[in-house]
Amino acid sequence: MRALLLVAHGSRRTESNEEVRDLTEQLRGRAGGRFGWVGHAFLELAQPSIPEAVAEAAVAGAREVLVLPYFLAAGRHVVKDIPDEVAIALREHPEVSVRVAPYLGAMAGVSDLLLDTALAHSPQAG
């Protein structure tokens, strides 16, 4: 079974972490049967961590986990911290494979999303 794991930075603001949980709920609702487990993890300041979330997915039966980094730029968190946390998860759960997708800011559709949103909020420009 395949799992989808949205990974965000984590914030002292509980509302920001709540936004990540709400987005995960949306993903879960839309994933249908294509991902058997959908969850989230944080790098800092909130739980669960990536290893904790991968453990939960593994217990649920996941054998492949796709990590979606919810980050805007290729900073240290994307380049080093997420791979480091993924490595820990892999050591603890060798039965699972983990793949990391591009981070949000590098996703092919982000400029389309921005432009579509701009047009929707500026109707006469459409």
Q: Return the number of the residue (94 or 124) whose C-beta is nearest a second copy.
A: 124
Contacts with a second copy by CB under 8 A lie at: 2, 4, 6, 8, 11, 13, 15-16, 19, 23, 26-27, 30-31, 34-35, 64, 66, 68, 70, 72-75, 99, 101-102, 104-122, 124-126
Burial of 37 per CB tally in 10 Å (0-12, 13-18, 19+): buried
Q: Return the number of the residue (31 or 96) whose C-beta is nearest a second copy.
A: 31
Least separation in angstroms between CB 55 and a second copy: 20
Six-digit token pair at 122? 């500026």
Nearest Cα to Cα of residue 5 among 38, 43, 45: 38
Least separation in angstroms between CB 121 and a second copy: 4
DSSP structure string for 67-99? EEE--SS-SHIIIIIHHHHHHHHHHH-TT-EEE
Least separation in angstroms between CB 69 and a second copy: 10
- For residue 4, the SS3 value is strand
Q: Return the number of the residue (87 or 115) whose C-beta is nearest a second copy.
A: 115
Question: From CA 111, how far away is CA 68, in angstroms rounded?
Answer: 18
Least separation in angstroms between CB 110 and a second copy: 7
